[in-house]
Chains A and B, each alone.
Chain A
Amino acid sequence: MFPVIKGAAYTLFHCPNVLIDHGTTQTVERDKNPASEYLKKLPAHLRSFADCVAYPPNQTYIGALAAKELDAIPKPWYQNGSQGASRFAQYGEVMPEDEFYGVMKLVDSFDLVLLEAEFASEVRKKLEQHPAFQGTDLSKLQKTSDRAAIKELVDAHIAEPLRLGDQLVGCVRQAHETDKALTAHIIFENLAAMASAVVSMRQLFLQSGLDPKQVDYIVECSEEACGDMNQRGGGNFAKAIGEVVGCSNATGSDTRGFCAAPAHAMVVASSLVQSGVFKNVVVVAGGAVAKLGMNGRDHVNKNLPVLEDVLGGFAVWVAENDGINPIVRTDIVGRHTIGSGSSPQSVMQAIVTDPLDRKGLKITDVDQYGVEMHNPEVTVPAGAGNVPEANYKMIAALGVKRGELERAGIMDFVAKHGMPGFAPTQGHVPSGVPVIGPARDAILAGKIKRAMIIGKGSLFLARMTNLFDGVSFVMETNPGFEVAKPTGIDEAEVRKLIAQAMRAMATSLAEQE
């Protein structure tokens, strides 16, 4: 039986100070030109937490605002924030930076995160009230450090700062004196990815009712790599995250594939469940610090707020078929193979139409496509265009070429089978997976029957191959369990009846004798 998707959680982390100190656009600029005009102007373009929460695409990501409702909000969205927006919604939350630093301390097993005493005490009080942290051990926040000692480590360049405005409230230390895979910079990125994944997992448990002890396996699919100098990407985030959130009966592993990794991870998780190897698998990923403020230069030049001020995370629960939740059609998996070719047409054919063709389905038989869901308000000012719309148009164009829709109907197809981009430019996070939660709800509500989730990845960035990557899978209405109906004469039952009759006759003959 096909596996089902029983829950999905989505989280954002407002990190304006991490953006300034650790986003690669900013760190590269600081290295090249410490007196840069961009770096001077940047702080004035950062948003408050309230503005970040009210930002309509962020409300859509955490499930408070439907994508169709987002589409109806006039642009620019950053000037039309949702009134009375809450940081918590049905899929998860937007977490402020101070709480996020607190979670980084909670997930740290090697005393690498140092927090100043007063700050740690305030954060502890906040996390005690946090719905996803009820009953969790917050005692690590009582182990604090002296502000002067933190400053000394940062000034000596053996720790990365944790700031709130002009206040230094903590730091992340290097984990080794000479190992370049354990520098403060790398440890910072890895702990941030882990902390954001941990909040995503906790939100999944809270929203779906999944008991952490029921989890058999975790597939982590972020864009970071943890290891030491002898095995730079050795791993394993999955087990480290599971340990923190109490998945004591689980093991796990990390799956990588740039932005396509979450789609690969969903295929792996679904296969593990369908094969019967595991019953409950969680696919999870935290955020990428490096990408904070990635297009900040363009945003500042165009006098916009720097909108890439959030880390993103998600967690999805894949489980045994319950007859209710949407199934994952593991027989309709698309893949861009090594021999597929790189033209836009061959890419879309491999990912979208080849798997549909195998089951005799048309492009229009899929009600909702989840493509690269990047927020266009972030990418258009940077010259990268409206990425989801371009992807939807390519799918529609393929449909026209195949005679499945009229050329004049391309924009109607985009409106009907697509949705506006609403995800942060966190690489792996926008790649199809933000649509899993809304598609699951729409399928359960009977609004749609079928959705295709597409992940695409830029493998060429690692300079190991010129290849591109893409994987897709289909979610569909659960047909329920069929009740077995009698289909004619049961041979075993007939044999039993004849045997009983013969035994009765033999007994009767014996009695007559």
Chain B
Amino acid sequence: MLKGKKVIILGDRDGVPGPAIEECIKSAGGEVVFSVTECFV
């Protein structure tokens, strides 16, 4: 589903952080063009 797609990641510190989502995207063949983790509290 993500093969060859460019992906922007907005991670949540108290949910799933950016680097963890990044690993999933890469393993699914997506290209991470921007990844950030934000703190919403």
Contacts and interface: CB of A to CB of B under 8 A. Distances in A.
B20 A384 contact: no
A344 B41 contact: no
Nearest to A343: B20
Contact of A468 (B17, B23, B41): B17
Nearest to B22: A342
Question: How extensive is the interface on chain A, given as a class?
Answer: 20 to 34
A384 B41 contact: yes
Given A468-B13, A468-B17, A461 B39 contact: yes
A466 B21 CA distance: 14
A11 interface: no
Contact of B40 (A383, A430, A456): A383
A344 B40 contact: no
B14 A343 contact: no
B12 to A, nearest CB: 8
Question: How extensive is the interface on chain B, given as a class?
Answer: 10 to 19
Contact of A372 (B17, B23, B41): B41
A342 B17 contact: yes
A113 B29 CA distance: 59
Interface string B18-41: 111001000000000000010111
B41 A460 contact: no
B16 interface: yes
A382 B17 CA distance: 19
A382 B40 contact: yes
B37 A460 contact: yes
B15 A430 contact: no
Contacts of A342: 17-20, 37
A347 B39 CA distance: 15
A387 B41 contact: yes
A466 B20 CA distance: 12
B19 A466 contact: yes
Contacts of B17: 342-344, 347, 468
A390 interface: yes
Nearest to B37: A460
Interface in A379-398: 379, 382-385, 387, 390-391
Give the one of B13, B16, B41 with max A CB within 10 A. Answer: B41
A374 interface: yes
A306 B3 CA distance: 45
A259 B14 CA distance: 12
Give the one of A259, A347, A382, A460 with max B CB within 10 A. Answer: A460
B41 A466 contact: no
Nearest to A258: B39
Interface string A331-365: 00000000001111001000000000000000000
B20 A387 contact: no
A391 B37 contact: no
B37 A466 contact: yes
Given A387-B14, A390-B14, A390-B15, A379 B20 contact: no
A388 B28 CA distance: 31
Given A456-B13, A468-B13, A384 B40 contact: yes
Contacts of B14: 372, 384-385, 387, 390-391, 456
A472 interface: no
19 contacts: A342-B17, A342-B20, A343-B17, A343-B20, A344-B16, A347-B17, A372-B14, A372-B41, A379-B41, A382-B40, A385-B14, A385-B15, A390-B15, A425-B41, A430-B41, A456-B13, A458-B13, A468-B13, A468-B37
Given A343-B16, A344-B16, A382-B40, 9 more contacts: A342-B18, A343-B20, A344-B15, A379-B40, A385-B15, A390-B15, A425-B41, A466-B18, A468-B37
